[in-house]
Structure 1
Amino acid sequence: MITLSCRATRFSNMPLCSVYIQSHRTRVRPTCIISLLLLLAPMKCPVYHVNGGCGRRTDFAWKDIMLTIRDALELPILERATLVAGFNGQDNVIRRVHVADFPGAKFEWAKGGELLLTTGFGLLDNEAAQRALIPKLASKNLAGLILSIEHYLKHAPQAICEAGNRLDFPIIELPPDVSFVDIIEVVFSHIVSEHYAIRERVDQIHRTLTTLVLEGGTLQDLADVLSDILERSVVIENTAFEVLATAQVGAADGARIRSQTEGRAPPDIAEQLIKYGIYQKLHGMARPVYVPAIPELEMTMDRIVATIIVAHQVMGYMWIIAGERELTSLDELTLEHAATVAALIMFKERAVHQAQMTLRGDFVEQLFNVSDSQDAELAERAQQLDFNLDLSYQVLVVTETDAAPEAAPSLLAHVEQWIAPLHAALAVPRGSHVTLILQSHHLPQGNSIAAQLVDIAHADGTKLLVGIGRAVNNLAGLRRSYNQAIEALEIATALGQREGLRDFDTLGVLHWLRHLGPKVLHENTYLGAIHRLADYDTRYNHNLLLTLETYLDEGSMLTVASMLYVHRNTLSYRLERIQQLLDLDLSDPICRMNVHVALKTYRLRNTKPPSP
């Protein structure tokens, strides 16, 4: 028998027609294949209308063109067919038509959504086969069964009807004079029509999304409109998995709820998706990737995701979440267009942001070199940036511990968000740092503001280190406050501080040490001893310099041993060894003070402290 399967693939561009040879008995003429190919010609699609634009709801008025069992029963070709069981399954979507009539079929070809046509030849006088058939078809997610009666079976067997009702699997009886070929042709024509209708629908959607960009729409506008169009939840995130825009429709699964609460994809979920190769697959292809439900990650709904690429660089990801309905090719095709639109929006926003940062950077340079606060150009730029030229000021320099230099733009966005509720400030990226110029009618309280900023960032999972310059009464002192903040930050970094703040006014002797001339440094015998100890560590792979520094910083043998994870006797041996190598007596307070100062000088002029 020839088994002919016509299908529109789930995420494909064209419907496919496949022919299978499965048995010797058939009611389908081979010549029908030729007539079916003629159906690939374009067909008239249902009409629908799109009204939309930036910042307003988008309404779509169209007839649902996904062919269901209910729809199929209304077709003239099936007007004499009778639904005898599985009445609650009439909304099952038909994606393919398949004819199978031989005993012992295992249905390996099933992809889901098939409407199975049969004369019941394989079920004749076989109660076991009758009982097993519908559970098997339902497990393969077929759409329904059409049984042509009076060839081998007078009616659908009771076991088949009972299973159909139990599993909501439609069972349809068909008069014997209705040709399977005619049914296949009609159903296939609807599948092809669906394909072209989807294409037409996607074109309309693309025009709507393009209009959104031209009208100045944001990523949030895009998420809202896309969610409205597809009636699904949408998430747009950057490459750090932070949520840039989101729109919710219907229920949310656990992963979605967590991302909404945390403002980003939960780290454990993002890590697992990376391990599963989802993002690697995305970067390796130009099309969206289907992500099935992953219950162990609380992702109980299917998803599709696409990359957002700007100037050959991945800038983020756009997700569509299935919700309570199965994802379709419309979702995939729409997502492709939407990801391109998101790239256009990001490109525009990046260009605007770069222009703003250039304006801010130029303005700050003018402030640092100001000679006359009444300068007309300076006043005009100040007005553009909402900066008052007649207040008191203080400079904070902020960096993120261990962050790469290219992370500065992201740090800037976060710092602006964190500082906004605390104090009026102008934020400018400078290298790998963010410079904050606090402005106030009174001298700003930089220490208090910096401490709050560090706490807020820490609660958000980010470690900040802040250098604080002195508050000044006018613009003339702004450059000096900036230099002081930079020095405080650099000294804190050199001494191994990883988080918190460092005020220039608390540097004391550390400021002097940083500015000592080369001749003075060269003549200091204690500094020479520290260099010899550092060389010894390098040569013999020891950590005596760290041991000495921790001892001088902390004083208590028990505390130092605990910090270095060594026994107290081991610590005593190391200190004895250091004194022998350097010919020094650490019990002498003057010697101990000089060694401590020399060691801090070494840190300031050479390197960061090693890890224990």
Structure 2
Amino acid sequence: MTISVRDVLQLSVVNAALPQVLAGAHRLDRPVRWVHVSELPTIAGLLRGGELVLTTGMALDTDDANAASYLESLVDADACGLVVELGATLARVPDVVVAAAQRYEFPLIILRREIRFVEVTQVVHEMIVGEQYSHIEFARDVHETFTALSLANATADTITKRAAEICGSPVVLEDLAHKVLAYGAASNSPASLLADWEQRSRLSTDRHGAGGEVWLGVPVGTAGGHWGRLVMPDPPQDDRPVRMVLERAAQALELGRMVERDRVNLRFQAEGSLLGDLSSGSIPEIEAITRARALGFRPGATYIPLVIRVHLDSTDSTMAVHRRTKRLAERAAHAGTAARMSTLTGVWGEREVAVVIACPSMVSEPDLLGRFCEMLHRGQAAHPPAEVVGVGRTAGQLTVAAASLREAGHAAEVASATAHRSPKPYYRIGELRVRGLLTLLADDQRVQDFVESELQRLLAHDAQTGDSLVDLLRIFLTAGGNKSALARRAQLSRPALYARLERIEHILDIDLADAESLLSVYVALVAYEQRSATRR
């Protein structure tokens, strides 16, 4: 607990001197970094900020201008208060000093009885040093706790729950799309903690903001590569200890993520490395075939590049995603073996596996792809399957086919957001139309800026009011702008429907009867939904 000016005044040794606050009463909770006893009129030059100055008033026993200047110098030095002992040196604090303290809202306290200042400094300094030692002990315990969790390869759930236990307050791990990955509820009900989480998280603010709940957030991930955030709703006033806990927990989460990523089977590391070199075009065909043969790959007449992408559940932690990706790589390799195909298989990203299939000349591509997908999904209870397969362009050279893995990855990424509409064994980028184009441009900041410029006001309105106008706009666009079809699907009366559409037009400042406006909003909405889907 930080020691404040109020805490000092409540000490028995100070209270016995009958302290009286003349100014700055509402700022008595300012922390005291140190207590300084001085009669020098130039004491401000020796201060570093946060000091409580004790004096018998010699520096105030002068003309009004110098007395006021003394008080102002303490304010400029960021002292936390001035305590003046009245007595033989000074019978009363000059009015100009009191007025200056009131003007600057600076704590000014008088003591009506004499006390030994050395007793005050001894008690306060012991408290400050004791508090600093407690902070050091606390920091050591926190460091040891999360180091042990890292060495034990603890899950994200375990790390987050331990952080909540140490802080004695709920802690939530969320991704960049404000989806909950793990949480520690402490004594709170998970239902109340996580209710309307995404909306509340979007509207939350730090202590210096306004509008939403006050939350403390710490990014998770390396600089420039953040993938999540540890959040504490309603943090304590002095958030330094809990911030330290969250920062150490964030480090443990990132270390666990890195370890999990490095745990991939050596075979997949080697084949994945080769696929990476092939896709970048950094090696010639003869070297590619040589390295592939060394890994047990049998060359074919043509080569088919695939990327398999894992579907995520809202409850999946980052660690769970890595484990599922590793298992998917194992299943993909097994599917190739079961279908009697020669394949190169490697982990392609956090949630993707790349495969290049050698295709004999006598086997048709659709038959081969169908067999591979059947083997891949065999024994999987989920329907549609728990992953999607994107297919690149088939080529007669291994390097040319591998260069199309990026295209296959784009197809899988788009399909992961749309597969539930029309599930298929595999997808090609050309079949995905505008969604395919937007996925190819997904990392372009200009596309993201376009989405925000088109939809930000409507998204903010929904977050603040819960009106679900974005959902209504989605149905309207899906219905091709047909209001009759929209009324049937939305189950709204015509007057209510028209009123909501007018509200959308007013918020977005567009005319929904204008074809170009409809096109812009539709493209922005598709891009927004794809971005949200790929972060789940």
Instruction: Select the structure of larger CA radius of gyration.
Output: 1
- TM-score (normalizing by structure 2): 0.45
Tell which has more relative contact order, 1 or 2 (C-alpha 8 A, sep 6+): 2
TM, length-normalised to structure 1? 0.41
